[in-house]
Structure 1
Amino acid sequence: MARRRMMMQNLIGKSFTNLTNISMNITKHLLSNQKLKEENVVFSPLSLNTVLSMIATGSEGPTQKQLLSFLQSESTGDLKSLCSQLVSSVLSDGAPAGGPCLSYVNGVWVEQTIPLQPSFKQLMNTDFKAAFAAVDFVNKANEVGEEVNFWAEKETKGLIKNLLPPGSVNSLTRLIFANALYFKGVWKQQFDTTKTKDYDFDLLNGKSVKVPFMTSKNDQFISSLDGFKVLGLPYKQGKDERAFSIYFFLPDKKDGLSNLIDKVASDSEFLERNLPRRKVEVGKFRIPRFNISFEIEASELLKKLGLALPFTLGGLTKMVDSPISQELYVSGIFQKSFIEVNEEGTKAAAVTVSFISSRSRYSPPPPPPIDFVADHPFLFLIREEFSGTILFVGKVVNPLDG
């Protein structure tokens, strides 16, 4: 029994490591997109991963093989175990114990005239804890889209509004899979609002803007490395056994963000090696207040990463108990995300929706005081420390652009 438990723990540990690798791979490709070079970005690789896992469990043949390869998983059983762990422990609400307020929920909307395969419905219920709704896509597609938008807004405490663009749900839509992730954390050491002052933030185009910067004289978790610095700000934990932090990756060069993103996302061991583990005395210390809203249709990004078969006919045959199963394909994957960082802490949310349609430790000696002035574009991510799960990732190129 003990040996089996240890094997299971090792398997889950490997799954979380793979989850981080996938997250950083998607991050690298999204943030290095030249069209987004001068845009603020926030998204949740975890939310996207969850929806792809739901789709994978309803697929078979080459399509399932490609999804499992992309998700770095050996079987749908591994995906189910990982998601079950996420739902029950890693992303359960920490507020009752004095930790961050967390919500991680899944939803499935299915065309009312098509019966789901009983095994698929049970899997969605037990492992993904998904809520189901039978709806009329054929005659009331717009109303269904509004229903999904209302669900997303409710589950993210109002942060994500109008998730689905008009016309994205139509009479050919047969299933919608959705994941909503909400996070609200209060800093372990809050910033004094009276100390917040405006300073210049340098933009990539050579100009600068005046931005409110938060500051503190407290010791901070900072590591100073070759060409960049990393700041870790932990969230209040209370009696919660988990620990969540946001990390800021600041390149030394004003225009060094692209190279830094490439460096961070290209090495699977990068985070474990370079995240700060101890507090140091700070010299100049300033980080900007910001809030970002970002939306993406992720189909083209995923295809560029080698995930193409789910977007073609014939591989999603284990979802519905009907001949129409041969005609199902993923017709769109939307994600909308939001983050706000201020003196109290962080609020962040993301919702990912997929449409299925048919056609017809290392401790160095104490360093001297370190400056950390985030007055030019930087990368950030929110992470649960013990599992290494990355909830949100993004970049700030102009804190004034919401």
Structure 2
Amino acid sequence: DGSPTPHPPPPLSSSSVNTLISSLLLASLAALGEGSLGQTTTQIQGLLKPVTPPSKVGDLLSEALKSFTEANGTSFQVHTSSGVFTKQGPAISQAFTKQSQTRFRLQNQALGKGDFKADPKQLQAWATATHRGLEGAPLLADIKAKAGAMILANALHFKGLWERKVNEEKTDPRTFLGKKYTKVIMMHRAGTTYLYIYRQISALKRASLVLLLPFHVENLARLDKLLTLELLSKRLEKTSVASVAISMPKANITSTLSLQKQLSALGVADAWDQESTGKLHLGGVLHWASLELGAGAGKQDEESEEEKMDRPKMFYADHPFIILVRDNASRALLMMGALDHAEGEVLHDEL
């Protein structure tokens, strides 16, 4: 039609190597869209691209957030916080504060009135409290809230409760071939699960952990280019039950993201600071996420099940892979990320 081809958004940048993001961020953006006016509302609605009327997308996200948080403790433990942090300037309306807290659990907090250099420390402390002591990646230093700025922030910590936990006896140190070769604790277990050619789902009852592992040892650039929403949706619907022996690293994945460039590239442009001071504007969108890949709680592993397995397929995750957490009830993706570096003793090539 002659219209220019839109440029893809910049890649997610993080002060940590691994990247992790939760789709619950969309609920906070929906709250912001409902509380804004003019082009900002239109741009946020365009970003969310609802398949239902725009007036209903907030309801859908509000219900999804409620369902997810109410499921806490079933097959996962989740700690999540969302907030709007404001720097001295025009007050946010009480109507927006009440509605965003009721519908989207979005709390309103004030940043200190002093120098903006103290703001990152306040935000980092808030996120760390949600992550139950996991520091995660430090906040990017380029967050400088002027008077009138609103910082939209999300923090989430997720730990799956395995249907059958991994025995500590079934762990040992192995090499993970990531950005750096490291010695890590690998967890091993066998059982029946849903299998794809290179995609693996391990049952977490209410939620599923989906691992996308390249066949060869490589970085994730090629897989990232191949993976589209349409392809992923199609593959997730084509599952078959198979006997699988799984080995995967025990790791805590943490990520800190500043999303201004990505959201601007996706069309949310008018809400940001336009060199104004004192007027209400969006000064940053920050996202902290952490995910525990561990032996976890759950039923004791069934030795009898492993004994009955006949030549199980091997799934050996000793190199970078993509991680998805899916809500089995709604089939929505709750978290997306990648493990391309596992913390451990760095191994050096002696040749």
2:184 to 204, 207, 211: 211
Once the two structures are superposed, residues 339-384 of structure 1 have per-residue CA deviations (whole angstroms, 9 ceiling, x without a partner) of: 23122269xxxxxxxxxxxxxxxxxxxx973221112221111121
Give the secondary-structure state (helix, strand or coil) at the position aligned to 1:268: helix
Which residues in structure 2 correspond to 1:172-187 (within 5 Å)? 172-187=147-162
Match of 2:236 in 1: 274
CA contact (8 A) 2:190 2:246 kept: yes
Q: Measure the CA separation in 2 of the matches of 1:345 and 1:201.
A: 24
Match of 2:271 in 1: 310
Alpha-carbon RMSD across the aligned residues, in angstroms, is 3.6
- Shift of residue 221, structure 1, vs aligned partner: 2.5
Q: Measure the CA separation in 2 of the matches of 1:75 and 1:313.
A: 30
CA contact (8 A) 2:182 2:344 kept: no
Match of 1:380 in 2: 323
Query: Structure 2: which 5+ runs fail to align?
Result: 1-7, 299-309, 346-351
Match of 1:109 in 2: 85
Which residues in structure 2 correspond to 1:88-237 (within 5 Å)? 88-95=66-73, 98-111=74-87, 114-134=90-110, 137=113, 139=114, 141=116, 146-160=121-135, 164=139, 168-203=143-178, 208-224=181-197, 229-235=198-204, 237=205
Q: Measure the CA separation in 2 of the matches of 1:77 and 1:64.
A: 11
- 4+ residue runs over 6 A deviation: none
Match of 1:246 in 2: 209
Give the secondary-structure state (helix, strand or coil) at the position aligned to 1:310: coil
- Shift of residue 310, structure 1, vs aligned partner: 2.5
- Shift of residue 112, structure 1, vs aligned partner: 6.1
- The question of 1:297 aligning with 2:258 is answered yes
The percentage of counterpart residues that share the same residue type is: 21
Which residues in structure 2 correspond to 1:323-342 (within 5 Å)? 327-342=279-294
- Shift of residue 312, structure 1, vs aligned partner: 5.1
Once the two structures are superposed, residues 212-244 of structure 1 have per-residue CA deviations (whole angstroms, 9 ceiling, x without a partner) of: 2211232233222xxxx1111222x4xxxxx11
Residue type of the alignment partner of 2:215: D
- Shift of residue 187, structure 1, vs aligned partner: 1.0
Query: Structure 1: which 5+ runs fail to align?
Result: 1-24, 238-242, 315-322, 347-366
Which residues in structure 2 correspond to 1:362-401 (within 5 Å)? 369-400=312-343
- Shift of residue 333, structure 1, vs aligned partner: 2.1
CA contact (8 A) 1:86 1:92 kept: no
Match of 1:262 in 2: 225
Report which of the two has the higher share of helix.
1
- Shift of residue 338, structure 1, vs aligned partner: 2.3
Q: Measure the CA separation in 2 of the matches of 1:281 and 1:369.
A: 5
Distance 1:94 1:271, change over 3 A: same
CA contact (8 A) 1:163 1:336 kept: no
User: TM-score, normalized by length of structure 2?
Assistant: 0.77
- Shift of residue 61, structure 1, vs aligned partner: 2.2
Match of 1:344 in 2: 296
2:246 to 285, 292, 309: 285
